[in-house]
A and B are shown apart, each in its own frame.
Chain A
């Protein structure tokens, strides 16, 4: 074994540095299915505590929905547990193709290719489709997986300031000599919950002959009147060239992702995208359950309507209670505390009060922008949110932050 002491010491030093920077991530053990109310062991070895979950991506509350569970069981019985193969050797079942067709119909595109995750979809799509003569122009706050995917492509990389259409236009004009220009954005940004101005982006793309790529992971299933995503909400259905999204959030919450769009683009991903070519197929149990999820969200907008109502209600409760929020319409509702220590303390005290939220601070969010990110679910009932606001008020009073904006918090606690 060549695991030298020097290596061990170096790695321990790096772990210590992560702790010192306040970036150490600790897992909390959940002793229940995912849902609005869960049982959590934290710290490890502590008594299991029932809490209201306000930090899952379980937007539509389908992670443990009985019909989804039944479909998963049936899928397991009918098609087995694992495929023991990548897709193109002997890992494609009828269900995989069925799900790809269902996702294409739901998203309003020509074709879809499943990946083990949206992380993998984003890691594979750029390298498969774009090369040296092309340029990828990304919003500076795109998801980390897009950053990695862009790095893997030989295309030139450029950026525009977050949601700044003037800056994007300038970049598009600068790159008119490139073979292909691709505007790259998230549909809903996970940090602030803000929605990309896709209507304006599409207009610029048409004016400057560019393609549009959208990662709609925090939108598919619930943003837009029928939950198709950001392109529906912004009135540009059918005008997005490439959509990547996940089955790991609203659409059942298990795992799996996809690249969707024009048939040729998808086919080229099937031929070239390395995460697709070299990873096992999405397991049949997940595919079967995801098919049920697509059926459920296509059948009725009841759950996305309830989520929208929950988000509106929660925003109103927090605002009336004197908390400072990031404006927006999505079910990602950041409660701004600005001061890192306050954000950490508030999250800890809320947990003790039975509310599971996470505090985020620099460098995960910009300096002086510490916050608690709350995420709503259609699984939440009004009584969950009423109980949560009571805890927020209690802890907010104890920490003396209720009714304070950025300037007051900066003056009283520093940033």
Chain B
């Protein structure tokens, strides 16, 4: 016997997930965000923002903290 799995359309999947979370008491919203990513060798840092500039500013701040030389 073979089974065929029918993937729900993306919209249906979204609605299902939102409903599931609402049933658990969450008010759910979603929005698009910009993501800025910096890579150097194996290091990766990323930040998001409402605009590309905001994402880059946050990325720069995150890197400033990460890059600071540190001793225990």
Contact = CB atoms under 8 A, between A and B. Distances in A.
Interface string A1-36: 000000000000010010000000000000000000
B66 interface: yes
B69 A363 contact: yes
B32 interface: no
A106 interface: no
Interface string A151-188: 10000111100000000000000000000000000000
Interface string B12-34: 00000000000000000000000
Interface size class of A (residues with CB under 8 A): 20 to 34
Contact of A140 (B58, B68, B71, B72): B68
Contact of B69 (A17, A147, A150, A191): A191
Nearest to A144: B70
Contact of B66 (A14, A147, A362): A147
A191 B71 contact: yes
Contacts of B71: 190-191, 360, 364-365, 373
B59 to A, nearest CB: 11
Interface string A352-380: 00000000101111100100010000000
A143 B70 contact: yes
Contacts of B70: 141, 143-144, 190-191, 364
Contacts of A143: 70
A254 interface: no
B65 A157 contact: yes
A138 interface: yes
Interface of A: 14, 17, 138, 140-144, 147, 150-151, 156-159, 190-191, 360, 362-366, 369, 373
Interface of B: 42, 58, 61-62, 64-66, 68-72
